[in-house]
Structure 1
Amino acid sequence: MAAGLVISAPASGVGKTTLTLALARAWRHRGLNVQCFKSGPDYIDPAFHAAATGRASVNVDSWAMDRATIAHLVSRGVDADVVLAEGSMGLFDGVAARGVSGTGATADIAEMLGWPVLLVIDPSGQAQTAAAIAAGLRDYRPGVRLMGVVLNRVASPRHEDLVRRALNDAGIAVFGALPRHAEISLPKRHLGLVQAEEQAEIGALIDEAARFVAEHVDLDTVLHSAAAWSPEPAVNRLNVTPPGQRIALARDAAFSFVYPHMLEAWRAAGAEILSFSPLADEAPDASADVCWLPGGYPELHAGKIAANARFRDGLRAFAVTRPVHGECGGYMVLGTGLTDADGVRHGMMGLLGLETSFAKRRMHLGYRLAELAAPMPGHRPGARLRGHEFHYSTILAQPDTALAVVHDATGAVIAETGSRRGQATGTFFHLIAEDR
């Protein structure tokens, strides 16, 4: 029997990830087995969870996944002592139109799993108003239970006292208060946090966060306030068809955004993943029957990617006879050219005619529902794919045949259709699940 809880907040940037990592590591230091999950489509946080717990973390998403799929994914916590689901954005923030089992809000996952919410509140610039916000979140939606709050970045003992008194008057438990502590801030980049594998000091940073949180938060009371939970028997409902039997997968600092549950589903279906590094000028394995280029940060490495002849020539030769697919950054690399933030154009692989630029940043963000007009690796024409798009590039040209009709979460048609030419296909969205 595990203790299950959800860590959420009124908004982004309040400290959910730091508190999640700190609690996970602190409980792990006490000898407990901790399993983390990420609510929503963020593909960076699960790697931090794994660094904190030593166990793989996966995304659970109510817009893209049905309840059976979510139940299957969380069942990996069956042998854990503590199970934490880190939320995204604010507790009730999702899209306007319901998806497969919800709107993508963290509250959907909390209600679905029956786990109470530990709320992180940053009372900077306020005092008693913090209690009003917490009380509003507590009462907003029946079925979502607030277990209490942790205050983050309190300015002084007097400030803490004011907020604590107000929360106490509102009947809301305070499990701890964290003073400002710059040493545990996680570095950020334009798509969110700098990735865990890029930070050599990540273990020490999480250890310091755990020490700091253990000093200021009542870990025992938090644990005892969580829900007793044991997963129901779950049938594998991922229904993911691997793109091939032997998959050449680009994996390095430029190609790192791939959902862990997708890789696990490919392996569970019997596929073999053959990783290679374009940044190390490696070509896809010649024995593979498909090549997959995930998203990441190719714009930060565009010059090197363009100069790596072994990768370029090997990929082009591969694409003559076998399918190659790219997601987001991988799609951009399959294109003709990529202009970086300094306005310098770098020639890319030329397997597609896509031309993109980061010189004028434009954010593309949101869920995507795509109906395939043509096959892509692992999926037939007519398949309905659910995914998420997040990047700052501008399309200068997308001349090839459209791969899909793509809608956002409101049903509006969008221009980022993906494209296909010969054996090459690409999408701007990262695949999460297929409708079945």
Structure 2
Amino acid sequence: MTPGLLIAAPASGTGKTTVMLGLLRALRNDGVVVQPFKSGPDYIDPAFHRAASGRASFNLDSWAMPAAMLDGIAGHARDAELVLAEGSMGLFDGVARAGATGNGASADIARHMGWPVVLVIDVSGQAQSAAATALGFARFDHSIDVAGVILNRVASPRHERLARTGMAAAGIRVFGALPRRGDLKLPERHLGLVQAAEHADLDERIEGYSAFVRAHIDIAALRAVARAGNGRAAAATTGTPPAQRIALAQDAAFSFTYPHMLDEWRRFGAEILPFSPLADERPAAHADLVWLPGGYPELHAGRLAAARNFHAGLHDHALTRPVHGECGGYMVLGEGLVDAAGVRHRMTGLLGLVTSFAQRRMHLGYRRATLNAPVGALPTGAILTGHEFHYSTIAEQPDAELASVVDAEGTQVTESGSYRGAITGTFFHMIAQQR
């Protein structure tokens, strides 16, 4: 299999995404075909990976995905020369109870795939002491190979020398040291970065990361320690597609769609028919199902409320065929959406749901759902794994509960989704179907 590395960190906020993007672009500029992956449920980082590498980035999730599905998705690297996977949070951070293949930690992916780990360590505020952190990570789980570290936010040449001295004493390899640069931070929104498509200067930014990484990291040494994965060749499996002709909303308000889901639907013969609600487009008239994914509808609530052609097309479709919405898409299927300023916007009204961002509350975590009603071709009783992350609250939800939903610890979740006939919606984003 293709040799790979996992770029991870002791914690969030260490700068691993900047390092990842810089490495992807530097290698691409060198003519290396690099396949990116992202550990865990994340829509935003993979879009940046694609911009940097020129290849679609796929999520690998040990809680939601069985081993065969992980191996199938990893098969996207078969025509690449190198894999770079980006971890999430800290290397060993996951949920308390294991799911399909693990507890959702990046370490699970490194272990399953056999990829060495390179830790990006923020050394600001310390010097030799950073080596104790690195040594602890290297020894915490001997099934994980921590190949070395990249020092980040180094204050001065002296600071770098001291940090390297500590690493040498602990027997930790240093692949590079990045000086502190406040201008390299990407802006954030809600639970992650501002979406890649919203940066007019994104390519210029990524080229800057590439030059920065190339000047301070031994890229050849990183390539030399990459190791071929030990996953088995398999076809990804998410289960039956929800329809054969799927009208999929795709624009700045509806951008949270997993590449592995679309690839799998196409593999089973489904046709994806994109359309843009923000451009006031109707879904394709011959579609069997309309699917409204998540995104940031609250940032475009006024335009969505005024998109009368979109509303009419959705209502026409719903007379005879199913419609499904995930998270932001679910909100748009409702009666109303109250924005952060307290202004209520009329949505499509296919469901009775009213959501509000005026009283923000974070909803975050893995979800396991058993359907009480069909979602397109997904039958009653189907078990779906996924995740929920949003800041809206439910003001009204008069319709029947779509699913029985529990979190990663088995605790019942009140955000059950709802349905009215063949119109369905959930706050969770589906990652896989369980067989």
Corresponding position of 1:197: 197
Superposed displacement of residue 228, structure 1: 3.5
Query: 1:382 matched to which residue of 2?
Result: 381
2:36 matched to 1:59? no
2-side partners of 1:237 and 1:225: how far apart? Answer: 27
SS in 2 for 1:278: coil
Q: How is 1:139-154 mapped onto 2 (pairs within 5 angstroms)?
A: 139-154=139-154
Secondary structure of the corresponding residue to residue 371 of structure 1: strand
The answer to whether residue 94 in structure 2 is matched with residue 94 in structure 1 is yes
Question: Whole-Å Cα distance in 2 between the matches of residues 383 and 2 of structure 1?
Answer: 35
Aligned equivalents of 1:213, 1:121: Cα separation in 2: 15
CA distance, structure 1, for counterparts of residue 140 and residue 102 of structure 2: 16
**What residue is the counterpart of 1:224 in the other structure?**
224
SS of the equivalent of 1:360 reads coil
For 1:214-293, list aligned pairs within 5 A: 214-229=214-229, 232=232, 234-293=233-292
3-state SS of 1:126 partner = coil
Classify the secondary structure of the residue corresponding to 1:369.
strand
RMSD over aligned Cα, in angstroms? 1.2
**Structure 2 regions of 5+ residues with no counterpart?**
none
Report the Cα distance in structure 2 between the residues aligned to 1:377 and 1:384, rounded to whole angstroms.
14
Structural mapping, 1:406-421, within 5 Å? 406-421=405-420
TM-superposed deviation, 1:191: 2.6
- The 1:229/1:403 distance shift into structure 2, 3 A limit, reads closer
Which amino acid in structure 1 is aligned with residue 40 of structure 2? G
Matched residue SS, 2:348: coil
1:23-422 correspondence runs (5 A): 23-229=23-229, 232=232, 234-422=233-421
Write out per-residue CA displacement over residues 386-424 of structure 1, whole angstroms, 9 at most, x where no aligned residue: 001000001111111000000000000011000000221
Does the 8 Å CA contact 2:375/2:422 hold for their aligned counterparts? no
Deviation by residue 1:113-138 (Cα, 9 ceiling, x = unmatched): 11110000001122222111111111
Q: Match of 2:351, as an amino acid? A: L
Once residues 37 and 182 of structure 2 are traced to their aligned partners in structure 1, the CA distance between those partners, rounded to angstroms, is: 26
- Is the 8 Å Cα contact of residues 322 and 376 (structure 2) preserved in structure 1? yes
For the 8 Å contact 2:294–2:327, the answer to whether it is kept is yes
8 Å Cα contact 2:375-2:424 kept in structure 1: yes
Q: Secondary structure at the match of 2:337?
A: strand
Deviation at residue 378 of structure 1 after TM alignment: 3.1
Deviates more, 1:15-24 or 1:234-243: 234-243
1:74-110: per-residue Cα shift (whole Å, max 9, x none)? Answer: 1111121110111011000000000001000000000
Q: Distance in 2 between matches of 1:129 and 1:67?
A: 37
Deviation digits for residues 284-320 of structure 1 (CA, Å, limit 9, x no counterpart): 1111110000000000000110011111111111111
- TM (norm. structure 1) is 0.98
Output one character per residue of 1:249-296: Cα deviation in whole Å (capped at 9) or x when no partner: 100000000111001111111111111110001111111110000000
Once the two structures are superposed, residues 183-229 of structure 1 have per-residue CA deviations (whole angstroms, 9 ceiling, x without a partner) of: 33222111311111222211111111011100000111111122144
CA distance in 1, matches of 2:339, 2:329: 15
Q: TM-score, normalised to structure 2's length?
A: 0.98
Query: What SS does the aligned partner of 2:319 have?
Result: helix
Mapped contact 1:14–1:152 kept (Cα < 8 A) = yes
In the alignment, the residues of structure 2 paired with residue 80 and residue 363 of structure 1 have an alpha-carbon distance, to the nearest angstrom, of: 38
Separation in 1, partners of 2:394, 2:229: 47
Paired AA for residue 56 in structure 2: A
- 2:18 is matched with 18
Is the Cα–Cα contact under 8 Å of residues 385 and 434 in structure 2 kept in the other structure?
yes
Cα deviation, residue 162, structure 1: 1.4
* Counterpart contact for 1:290–1:377, Cα < 8 Å: yes
Q: Secondary structure at the match of 2:223?
A: helix
Q: Which runs of 5+ in 1 are unaligned?
A: none
Match of 1:428 in 2: 427
Aligned amino acid, residue 161 of structure 1: R
State the Cα deviation string for residues 309-356 of structure 1 (Å, max 9, x = none). Answer: 111111111111110000000000001111001111111111111111
Answer yes or no: is the 8 Å Cα contact 1:77–1:231 preserved in 2. no
Residue identity opposite 1:374 in structure 2? A
Identity of aligned residues (%): 62
SS in 2 for 1:128: coil
1:230–1:94: structure 2 CA closer, same or farther, 3 Å change rule? closer
Q: Matched residues in 1 for 2:261 and 2:376: separation? A: 13
Contact 1:75 1:231 in 2 (8 A): no
Distance in 2, matches of 1:231 and 1:77, equals 12
User: Distance between the aligned counterparts of 2:231 and 2:419, measured in 1?
Assistant: 42
Letter in 2 for 1:353: G
Q: Which amino acid aligns with 2:183?
A: E
